Amino acid sequence: MTLVRCADAARTFGRGDQAVVAVHGCTCAVEPGARIAITGPSGSGKSTVLHLLAGLEVPTGGTVEWPALGATAVERSRDIAVVFQGPSLLPALTVAENVGLAAVLTGVPEAKADQRAVAAMETVGVAALADQLADTLSGGQAQRVAVARAIALRPRLVLADEPTGQLDAETGAHVLDVLLAAAAATGAALVVTTHDPAVATRLAEQWQLTDGRLVVPAEEGVRR
């Protein structure tokens, strides 16, 4: 069953003269097992689409639905994990605490959250950093820890917003390896935004955004 579906979804920020149409006419669906890159230049609406898919933004037009996921935003928060573009770890907590925290906050008992955190850190290859404070990490290490934190929730859908955007090519490629391996290990669907064609071609499907308009390749539309 479809994880998330947008039908003619739009998101406008501001009102009147100040209104900015970030995304319009967005029709797409993410199925279980999907590996999707959303590509487009800066300002084309990538983050806004990702936030709509996550339920972090409410559409100002059209609909966004999660047929296979929980009925409420709280229930869905266990099914959907977001890897944000910029630094998103809590600097004064250790790596292990950062990775375990989201699970605890969504109601997983602490002992189980700890186990999941260890498993996630091992999957992503950051177990050796477990006791280090987050603010001592390099950019690439921090982004891998953010991936570990995302998969520790055992989500059905991982949404990563330019996860390689601030990394050099080699580190970025490694973070993408980690994301793909983690999605494969947990069975989660993966959607990655990127302006880098080298990153986009590593995902099975490419969706193109131009000025807030999403184009999903025709064959994908037919398959659905």
Residue 42 CB, shortest distance to ligand ADP, in Å, is: 4
Q: What is the torsion angle, in degrees rounded to the nearest 10, for the CA atoms of residue 218, residue 205, residue 183 and residue 95?
A: -120
Q: Which one, 48 or 77, has the nearer CB to ligand ADP?
A: 48
Binding residues for Mg ion, rule CB under 5 A, total 2
92 binds, among ligand ADP, Mg ion, none (CB under 5 to 8 A by kind): none
* Residues in 34-73 at the binding interface with ligand ADP, rule: CB under 6 A: 40, 42-48
Specify the stretch interacting with Mg ion by CB under 5 A; choose among 44-52, 105-113, 133-141, 204-212: 44-52
Say whether residue 98 binds ligand ADP (CB under 6 A): no
Q: For residue 32, what is the DSSP state?
A: T
Instruction: Give the dihedral sign, CA 23/24/30/35.
Output: negative
CB 103 within 8 A of CB 117: yes
Say whether residue 47 binds Mg ion (CB under 5 A): yes
Binding residues for ligand ADP, rule CB under 6 A, total 12
Say whether residue 141 binds Mg ion (CB under 5 A): no
Alpha-helix residue ranges (DSSP H) falling in 128-217: 139-152, 169-186, 197-200
Say whether residue 163 binds ligand ADP (CB under 6 A): no
Q: Which one, 13 or 67, has the nearer CB to ligand ADP?
A: 13
Which positions ≥6 away from 138 have C-beta within 8 Å?
none
Say whether residue 24 binds ligand ADP (CB under 6 A): no
| Lookup: tokens for 115 | 């186990």
Distance (Å) of CA 43 to CA 40, 108, 211: 8, 37, 7
22 binds, among ligand ADP, Mg ion, none (CB under 5 to 8 A by kind): ligand ADP
Say whether residue 90 binds ligand ADP (CB under 6 A): no
Say whether residue 160 binds ligand ADP (CB under 6 A): no
Strand blocks (E) in the chain: 4-13, 20-30, 35-39, 61-65, 80-83, 157-161, 189-194, 205-210, 213-215
Judged by the rule CB under 5 A, the positions of this chain that interact with Mg ion are 46-47
Judged by the rule CB under 6 A, the positions of this chain that interact with ligand ADP are 13-14, 20, 22, 40, 42-48
